[in-house]
Chains A and B, each alone.
Chain A
Amino acid sequence: MSSVTADVGIIGGGLTGCATAYHLARRGARVVLLERGFVGAQSSGVNFGNLRLQGRYLRQLPLALRAQRLWEELEAEIGESVEFSQTGHVLAAVTPAHVAEIETHAVDCKPYGLDVEILDRRETLRRWPFLGEIVIGSSWSPRDATVNSRLVCPALARAARRHGADIREQVSVTAVEQAAGGAFRVVTDQGFVLDCGHLVNAAGAWAAPLAAQFGEEVPAFAAGPVQMVTEPLPRFLDPVIHAVDGGILFRQTARGNVLIAGHPRVPVDAESRRTRVPPQKATINMARLAKIAPFLRTQNIIRMWTGIEGYLPDMLPVFGPSRTTPGLLHAFAFCGHGLQIGPAVGAVLAELILDGGTQTPIGDFAIDRFRTPMAADKAKLKHEFDMEILDRKMPN
């Protein structure tokens, strides 16, 4: 069995892994990334493509704003298009509670450097006249953007490779061992082992067992956000329209298709990596779309799909150094919010490895927050997840 040596080994070729490889390689580190399938073929490559700033967990905003700066420069930097389109984001309020929520958020996000504009019903309908009667106000965030998620990881992986990263697809990790000196040995199914001083666990919905191997159990679970598209239409919409509660959201792609998503997320089988969209769920999304944008009733859905995403009960990721094992870093279970922050996650991981620390606050995402059992707020999550997931994963 041959041996490959690197400063940093990365397990998982989703956005987290690819962005980390890119930032590390750019700074001169020797990186090997191992991906079981193809880079960006799981949830990193099949998501809605939303680079949304407004409505995020507030203390994630420094990371998110750093990420947005990286997104704004990414295409020029790597010399490839990922269909980055900075056309803003509309949080559409359809209940008085939504209005109160966006008004509070507009005040709260300001100190972090995010400015959003609250629009009343009239102004909202003046700007987006196709919206339905149920929309009673909105929050407008012009700096938000979208990308074509299918294109992002392969482009980042190519860029990382140009900077010297060794990206290996169709390689499964069969075991991770730690030698006496603290270095890691990653055993693969392709006849080689990887020896590395640092190891990044970026295995997405499949990352928890590796963390557990190092004594860090987390209550991660998998779920799938349902997506669907219409046939291409003439351009009518630039920003993302996103109901405040996430019950429905849609945007128009560069090609012209209307891309539609919305809670609740559905059960998926992470083991088989096969996903099926429950038809009743697809039907609900279609009915909600017809409520928020009635003119789209005349369109057809041509494709629907979901992906396998990792979640945690507090809807925050695990992101930062291992608390048990020097040299090991975790970055997974981004709870459906990983795309936007992805480039900054990669930059921060590179800083943690090469500089020993980072200026960007990430303490809220530490893995040891699960050392004391966390009671999931099922009432809060029931809009976000199919009840089957909550009952199975959080039986308490």
Chain B
Amino acid sequence: MTRIVVVGAGPAGVAAATLLVERGADVTLIEERAQPGGQVWRAPAPGLALDMDRLLRGDSEGFRRFHAGFAVLRPRIDWRPETLVWNVHGGTVQIVAGGAQQALPYDALLLATGATDRIAPIPGWTLPGVFALGGAQAVLKDQGCLIGREVVFCGSSPLLFLAAVQYARFGAAVTVLDTTPLGAKISAVPGLAASAPRQLAKGIGLMAALRRQGRPMHLGVTLLGFEGSGGVTGVRWRDARGVERVTACDAVAYGHGLRPESQLAEIAGASLRFDRLRRFHAPEADALGRCGNGLYVAGDGAAIGGAEAAEVSGRLAAMALLADRGESVEFGALPERLARLRRFQDGLARAFAWPHAQVAALADGVTVCRCEQITAGEVRAVLAPQLGAAEVNRMKAATRCGMGRCQGRYCGHAAAEITAAALGRADAPLDRLRAQPPVKPLPIASALVEDDWP
């Protein structure tokens, strides 16, 4: 019997598993967390009575539909929650569950590993109390907690206003400092209106809601840094007219959009391609999510697209998988729908551009690699000329930048920008830190093997 392993139980992975099960496939669905949902439909921790209608408002219907769908799916699949896939090797996924390592052979592998925040380092970003925007949302959805009472939401992201509104609904005093250049936003509007008028209207509605509530909101600002000793106490910024200001706060949610979690795909053998618009690498796949050799990718881990695109891409990747195994499938209008959703995302990526020039010009004293405490100046100091590092992996070898607990998942993009700029190659496709297993820290105690040594 064919065993299909799906990694990630967010909208993409669950949509894929659902379609595969309906076609009679034997599906193992692996999820790192205890519950399905991914980031967008993240459910409150068990036993926590969080009012999801109040939190999600108009989106609560989608939340309920997802979890109801999963309840139907669950008895029909091999469901593996709290299971880490730390490696893919030789036709097996290597997992850790219940404190023990195990190898699961597969015939086809569908990765729906989602996305995490892409961090643009600025002075003070490693202070306690500074959260990634997605992290601030996860704390609320998962634990029903706020990261602070007076929270500054800052950066440039389509999720910035949504997260601020959600925090406001739960009583936080929020301030929004939007760094998106106004021109970029305005010039993106026609494209967004054409490809997804509903999402555009929703975004405008969120801004209007905050304004009605009298929440401070500043557009087109420049962030200068997060301040405080031992914890964040303020955000220093410059307004659109050039006046420098400080907003007091006890927490910061800071975001510049998302990046695909592509390490597992890379380890599983996918090629990565450089996305010039977003300035990151993503798995090389066809429009349906095929990477070749029985490997498929879907959702934000394949291409940043949001919940709806994730669901559609999950179904498409599952169909492609079935088609490749000789089954007849009807793709219908789904490919065109996915293409339209991704065009909308291209518009968002232009409006909320990753501030690469600002990252590349980061002051020497600012930390780039949080795990190893490596500054921008230390990165620049080891680069060529004179037999210095000539690309980012050699820079890593010389500095330890990207060698810590997160293995470069959080510093890698900034390190690549700084390296490329310092080497005069900012216009070429960026280098990237190569992925190595384990994808996440692997407990030594999980190695329960029969070994006759000595």
Contacts and interface: CB of A to CB of B under 8 A. Distances in A.
A286 B438 contact: no
Q: Which secondary structure dominates where chain B touches chain A?
A: loop
Nearest to B437: A304
Given A169-B387, A277-B437, A303-B403, A151 B398 contact: yes
A374 interface: no
A169 B90 contact: no
Contacts of A95: 454
Interface stretch (B124-132, B209-217, B347-355, B441-449): B441-449
Q: Which of B87, B400, B403, B453 has the most chain A CB within a 10 Å cutoff? A: B453
Contacts of A158: 386-387
A243 B398 CA distance: 30
Nearest to B386: A158
B453 A291 contact: yes
Nearest to A159: B387
Given A161-B386, A231-B405, A287-B451, A302 B444 contact: no
A154 B103 CA distance: 39
A286 B449 CA distance: 9
Given A134-B454, A161-B387, A247-B454, 16 more contacts: A39-B387, A45-B397, A150-B398, A158-B386, A231-B404, A247-B453, A279-B89, A279-B92, A279-B437, A280-B103, A287-B451, A298-B445, A301-B438, A301-B443, A302-B404, A303-B436
A21 to B, nearest CB: 11
Contacts of A305: 436
Contacts of A232: 404
Nearest to A287: B447
Contacts of B448: 287
B407 A302 contact: yes
A303 B397 CA distance: 13
Contact of A283 (B90, B101, B407, B436): B101
Interface residues of A, number: 49
Nearest to A298: B445
Interface of B: 87, 89-90, 92, 94, 101, 103, 372, 386-391, 394, 397-398, 400, 403-405, 407, 436-438, 441-449, 451, 453-454
B233 to A, nearest CB: 29
Nearest to A154: B387
A243 B438 contact: no
Given A248-B453, A278-B89, A157 B387 contact: yes
Contact of B444 (A157, A161, A289): A289
B454 A287 contact: no
Contacts of A287: 447-449, 451
Given A158-B386, A230-B444, A297-B445, A279 B407 contact: no
Interface string A277-299: 11110111011111100001111
Contacts of B444: 230, 286, 289-290, 296-301
Contacts of B90: 278
